[in-house]
Structure 1
Amino acid sequence: MLKTLYKKLFERTGFTLINDNRSGRLVAVIECIFNQNARDAGAANFPALNGPILDLCNEYNVGIVEMPCPEMRFLGFERKRQPGQSIRDALDTVEGRNCCRKMSIDIVDRIEDYTKQGYQLLAILGGNPMSPGCAIHCQDSNLLAHSGVFMKELQDELRKRHIEIPFKGIRDSDPEMFALDIEWVREIFSARG
């Protein structure tokens, strides 16, 4: 619809419409899906990237908005924290939540920039069920308490701005669950095409 409006505007003003092949469709994805090197030691499930998710983006012409790793942003690559403190406990502090909140504001600003230009964000793809920052556990489109700290902050920021987007954890640590997640992504990408 937006392309049609631009075309009519250009025709009326005498401008030539430039052929633009962008699909106008996006998915927001956590960093470690396309860079397994960002995962904590022992958590990578692929040598470099999650190929099946990348293949779906390519197959359905869906662009990628990459979200930085909240663990690395707050704790550094080595995830430095107090002795005996889990990554989740470190993120679930005032300082950790503030870091995740600031990241969420930046990401939602980018999402709004895209949507104001007519782009469609199809989903937010998060992490495995045990991910301290990016786990997604949903019930009726609400993230549950044991979801990742960053994902909860992200959903809060989206809702403050009245933006509803489906969230889905990509559970690539379990082959059966991963197969279900791939089918969910395929359905979302094909239904909104």
Structure 2
Amino acid sequence: MKRGRKIVALAHCILNSNAKVAGIAQTPGAIPVIVEGLLRDGVGIVQLPCPEQTYGGCRRWGMTREQYDVPNYRKHCRTLLEDVVDQMEDYLRNDYEVLGIVGVDGSPSCGVDRTCVGYPGGEIASMQLLPECSIVEGRGVFLECLMSMLHDRGVSIPAVGIDEALQEALSWDELLKKLCRCGEGVGTP
């Protein structure tokens, strides 16, 4: 068999920017440099579901971490992630190398190191079209749920975030180096 036995889990919008809130996609489809590197290196891809699209649909507006950090959205995330966590655990138990999870920094859901905050609440009609928000250190709600669910099962997989706004600086090789640095000593117990 020609299986490479290496896997990476990608935030949904890395492979499908059509799931993003209208107007914020940085590419028409997938992020080419990431996909090309994965194909070149023979790394299998697990596409994480997009919790925002499955929760709010294609016509949703942009929201911040505070708006998503509610019990019902966390329940939605855990429901979406149950099969993903099963899959990751199964790969590891069967001697596959799960290189890591790649999120999108700045996302209120899929941020790894940075997330979007700043929603003050109130009547939407009284707010500016795009309320002021900030990018701060911290995880997005979906990634937080994923890492917690993996931890609860004794599974450790590294996670790194990409900055989509810096498309020219993105490199699969650099991303792989980050995953390897983060992933020393990870796997099943």
Instruction: Give the TM-score normalised by the residue count of structure 2.
Output: 0.76
User: Which SS does the other structure have where 1:151 is aligned?
Assistant: helix
Q: Residues 106 and 163 of structure 2 are in contact (CA less than 8 Å); yes or no, is this contact kept in structure 1?
A: no
Mapped partners of 1:25, 1:183: distance in 2: 15
Instruction: Give the TM-score normalised by the residue count of structure 1.
Output: 0.74
Shift of 1:174: 2.2
Q: Which runs of 5+ in 1 are unaligned?
A: 1-19, 139-143
Structure 1 consecutive aligned stretches of length 4 or more whose deviation exceeds 6 Å: 189-192
The equivalent of 1:147 in structure 2 is 139
| Structure exhibiting the larger radius of gyration computed from Cα positions | 1
Mapped partners of 2:143, 2:79: distance in 1: 12
**Higher relative contact order (CA closer than 8 Å, sequence separation 6+):** 2
Mapped partners of 1:174, 1:44: distance in 2: 12
The equivalent of 2:57 in structure 1 is 76
Q: Percent identity?
A: 32
Q: Residues 102 and 162 of structure 2 are in contact (CA less than 8 Å); yes or no, is this contact kept in structure 1?
A: yes
RMSD: 2.5
User: Which SS does the other structure have where 1:173 is aligned?
Assistant: helix
Mapped partners of 1:106, 1:30: distance in 2: 15
The equivalent of 1:112 in structure 2 is 89
The equivalent of 2:110 in structure 1 is 134
Q: Residues 56 and 186 of structure 1 are in contact (CA less than 8 Å); yes or no, is this contact kept in structure 2?
A: no
Alignment of 1:173-184 (within 5 A): 173-175=165-167, 178-179=169-170, 182-184=172-174
Match of 2:32 among 36, 43, 51: 51
Mapped partners of 2:153, 2:60: distance in 1: 31
